[in-house]
Amino acid sequence: MRSQTASMGCRTLALHRLQGEGGQATLEFALILFAFLSLLVGLGALADFARSGALVEHAGATASHTLGSDAGAVADVLAY
């Protein structure tokens, strides 16, 4: 039969293992939450940019460079 102190030692060890795994899960949750919120804020900023009309303006300004001569388009690509 096992002694009382050996049994307490095993319980303490098991408790420490559970606490360590809980910390890892909390850290993983925090990292995923941060990534999700960053994605959400980025999509919100993009939606605001599109709603203000700046996205269409920028696309029009960029497209106007390629509607000219071929030499101008090549120069734009090389300058980029």
pLDDT 10s digits, 6-24: 556 666 656 556 555 668 8
pLDDT per residue of the chain (80 residues) written in tens, 0 to 9 = 555 555 566 666 565 565 556 688 999 999 999 999 999 999 999 999 889 988 888 888 877 666 555 666 677 677 76
* Residue 47: predicted pLDDT: 92
Domains in the chain: boundaries: 4-79
Q: Which residues are CB-neighbours of 66 under 8 A, at least 6 positions away? A: 73, 76
* Residue 11: predicted pLDDT: 63
pTM assigned to the model: 0.47
Look at the chain and count its residues: 80
| Buried/exposed code over 5-17 (b: 16+ C-beta within 10 A; e: otherwise) | eeeeeeeeeeeee
